[in-house]
Structure 1
């Protein structure tokens, strides 16, 4: 997510283009990280990327994390409305309205509740060929990947092979403050490590060749040449660097590639047969074409085959709506973890945004537990409302913002306003910076991972 207040999604914060972006919007990289940043959490991660003019004003707050002693119990007594023909018609109209207003090519919506299911696709999967969007397509899910990576780490914790309060230096050398930054602080975005996707040299390397493969070590080298942003545990700041480090810890402890470990320990136990961690830019068929404005000139381009290795453990996974609806419940209820570990995962952190906060690789947004994600050309929202036993998946084939807002947020908000009016998913738009530019404003636009 951005901050506890914004995108828990998985895209790397991307530098802004050298000229004003069309529509004057902030990069898709904001996602969850952007949410928290919009709420007033400072930092150099995706959450801190400056938004377009006219965005929501940030709450002037600095969050000093002091985890609550007990896990939160979000959305007690939450419920959803029955999916009657009238409600279904209202959902159709709401989704179509957002699709049209935000100029989104296509979207897939999967909603599962004890009071009925809703599964529909709108728009097109290919703008050139005019192919309609359908519900069974594979898609890149961006920062939703973080939920899988952190779950993999927590599986190792449950197996006694790691402890959340172990320092990262116990497993990896060369990490700034590695003797004091804990695995917990990496998972809950409180390490203080610079977000590699905000580095100008990384931005130039990526935008000059979107097909270029990156290794985790290369990604970390961009981060570690910068000083740390704050002392470990001092505050929240969304950073893809954190999740890449956790991916390397998993590989070291398991003796397997992250891809193989997640399949064995997370995908298979959760019965996710169409969820894959690609080695490069391979993209299982069928899939929609993706469209992004994260280009040097801000013009929309087809990013379907861009290599997501630059996001690795923070944003490279591919899945579909059927798998993600299963995953939403697994993640929120902790069915792959011990109750004690799930309780640690859901310990509430202070947040400047009411009813929105970040835990260990997930967020709670007005009772909905999950994450969002964004990569060039694709966005996702995968959330579950435990008290109502409801799961929602929104998948779209663009990351182009609309009036400073992530289109994935607009869809999820419009849907939950109808089906769960007491628990409306919402992430504030990122605030405009006083100077109108951010730390990477002189660099070309780079793909964002929310």
Structure 2
């Protein structure tokens, strides 16, 4: 196992080194002069930025003081996203590069061979006719030298043209890549948008028709997203006037000691039937037991493999599967085993992969998060390999599943193709 881990680590490091070398060559090596200030600055950045990324990743799990984590997180994580989109943009540029070079070469050749424009009224220039072979003055027949039929030398590539192409393609790639990261960062810092769906729930009585659950997942408070982000999320939820709030895991990336103040605005959540919480996998990296106690102090009700009856339906919650390493994993029998299956049921479970257990226990609706919708395109393609549903609504037999993209971001505070959200789930009774 250790050997496999080492081999994988070496392969990942080699890949990252190769990608950084490629990005440096296209953005710096091909576009700047040797010894220039721009090349020196770009070369230093090519070494420093990946070190900051490694520092940001390692510091969050190695007990580094929280202020140091905050200093490393912004440049380190943002560079991770920038590297992805700069690489993708440069790869697209590889297809553009030869086309642009060919176009410029043809235009230059056309200019060199263009006919001279003779103005009207200018004196005509008499061009002597080609001399015909004839007798020489000494009586012999004159023979002109044979025309030079040797093929012209192939054109030499113009260094200035190569530099122009490199700078044009590199500049466009930098603009596209960094622009994408900038817009994706703005989308996260702006806060989540509100979505609304209606779910027809079997067994729901007429009296509960229209019951609204505001669900939010993957807030990911940490060295980047802090108290201000929590405030934005709480304000967005309260603006929907929900009957119940469900916080479906991955609230934090850090300890209560570091992030307790950042989570305090959760005490301001307003819902007629209260606010509920289940753990996500990141809680088990951050001290799940301490966080369960802390959210309880903030007024949320943790559902640790437990169930409550609310307004004519059962609301259940299970621990995240990451808790299995601590003996605190999901226990569906404890949460759902003895319930009346004739009643409507809603299950809060962080990861959508437990949908098969939900089907087995006759759950009507499962609410999940975890996937972030892929967060950074084309990450959704990877997320699809590990999750039955990446985002949105699907049915699995008689059980319905809704997966939120989440309200925050892990690692880079950037989302591309997967905007953050909170979702108001309105329950509909078949009897209404």
> What TM-score comes out, normalization by structure 1 length?
0.23
| Structure label with greater radius of gyration | 2
Higher helix share: 2
Asked which structure has the greater RCO (Cα within 8 Å, sep 6+), the reply is 1
